[in-house]
Amino acid sequence: MTDTQMLDGLGRRIEYLRMSVTDRCDFRCVYCMAEDMTFLPRQQILTLEEQLRLARLFVSQGVGKIRLTGGEPVVRKGIVGLCEQIAALPGLRELVMTTNGSQLVSMAEPLARAGVKRLNISLDSLDKEKFHAITRTGQLHKVLDGIEAARAAGFERLKLNTVVMKGRNADEVPALVDYALQRGMDITFIEEMPLGDVGRSRSEAFCASDEVRGMIEQRYGLIDSAETSGGPARYARVEGHPESRIGFISPHSNNFCATCNRVRMTVEGRLLLCLGHENSIDLRALVRRYPESDEPVLRAISNALKHKPEKHEFDVNEVQLVRFMNATGG
C-alpha cells in the first residue's frame, strides 16, 4: 500500500467505498427486508464519529468516492452533519447517496448544501397501489414530491433505481423510462439479488436485464455505451434523449469483477470485500480498540484487501447469504 493507493491482492485499485449508515428504514421493500424486522441495538452500530473516522482513513488511502446508503440513510439522526464532514475530507472527489426518497421533500436541500453531489433514488412503481405493495409502508406521492424537491435542490445528477420483478412492476418498465426521460434523469434497472430470506421465493419474480432491455426496445432505440462505473451496471443511451442514461445491473453476471473498484462497510463496521461473499473484517472492534492510533486500523484494511475475492457467484434459487441488503448497504 502506498500513501495514496489501495490495491487488492489482484492489483485492482480500490477507490470507491459504500458505507451503510443505518440498517433501519421507513420502508419494508419485499426484496430487501422481511415484514417483521429486528434492527440492531445502538451499541452495535458505528457512531457518527466512528463513521467519519473510517471515512477519513479510507480517503487518506486514495478512496475518491463514498456512497452513503443503508437501510435508509436519511433516517439516521445527524446525517446532514455527517455528510458535511465527509464531503469536506481533503482528497474526496465526491460524496453521493442512495435513498428511497421518502423524506426528500424536507431533506433534499440540506443534503445538497452539505455537499452530497448526486442522489440515486429508488422508484419501483408509478402506481400507488403497486408501490405500496412493493414497499409495504411507502406512499408514492411522497417519493414523487421528493424527486421534484431533489430536482430543484441543485444536485449534479439524479438517477432512479428500479428492481424489476415479474408480476409486480415489470409491466411498468416503459412508463418508468418515460418518467426518467421527461425529467432528464438516468434510470437503472436492477435484477433482484438473493440476499437474506425475505419470506418468498425470488425465482418466480426474477426478471433478467435482457428481458427488461427488450421491453424498452419496443418503444425506443438504444445505443450501447462504453461508460462504466467499475461496477455491475452496463449503460445505454436512448436515441433522441442524450441527457439520460439507461443502466442495467445484472449482479448474476460476474464479467465486471475484473475491474471491481469497490468495497462496502456495514453499519456495524464490517468491511465486506465483495457483495457475494462473506469475507469481512471487523473495523468496529479495531476503531474501538485503537481510539487514538490509526496505524493498526490501516494495516488491517490493507491486509484484508489482499483477500478480496476474484469474483462472486449468485444463484437466484438459493439464499446464499444470510445477511439482508439493508444490513449490507446496497
CA–CA distances in Å: residue 291 to residues 34, 97, 278, 303, 329: 36, 27, 26, 20, 25
Q: How far is the CB of 277 from ligand SAM (least distance, A)?
A: 16
The nearer residue to ligand SF4, 31 or 220, going by C-beta atoms, is 31
Question: Does 328 engage in binding with ligand SF4 (CB under 6 A)?
Answer: no
Q: Which residues bind ligand SAM (CB under 6 A)?
A: 25, 31-32, 69-70, 72, 98-100, 122, 161, 163, 190, 192-193, 195, 325-326, 330
Question: Does 107 engage in binding with ligand SF4 (CB under 6 A)?
Answer: no
CA–CA distances in Å: residue 38 to residues 34, 226, 282, 304, 327: 9, 42, 21, 29, 11
Helix axes 104-114, 79-87, angle to 10 degrees: 30
Note whether 275 and 264 are within 8 A (CB).
yes
Question: Does 193 engage in binding with ligand SF4 (CB under 6 A)?
Answer: no
DSSP 3-state of 79: helix
The nearer residue to ligand SF4, 30 or 212, going by C-beta atoms, is 30
Residues 256 and 329: their CA atoms lie apart, in Å, by: 19
Question: Does 71 engage in binding with ligand SF4 (CB under 6 A)?
Answer: yes
The nearer residue to ligand SAM, 172 or 192, going by C-beta atoms, is 192
Q: Are strands 65-69 and 16-20 parallel, antiparallel or unpaired?
A: parallel
Residue 19 contact partner, candidates ligand SF4, ligand SAM, none, CB within 5 to 8 A by sort of partner: none
Question: Does 235 engage in binding with ligand SF4 (CB under 6 A)?
Answer: no
Residue 33 contact partner, candidates ligand SF4, ligand SAM, none, CB within 5 to 8 A by sort of partner: ligand SF4
Residues 305 and 289: their CA atoms lie apart, in Å, by: 21
Instruction: Choose which of 16, 17, 19, 28 interacts with ligand SF4 (CB under 6 A).
Output: 28
User: Interacting stretch for ligand SF4, rule CB under 6 A, among 28-36, 46-54, 86-94, 235-243?
Assistant: 28-36
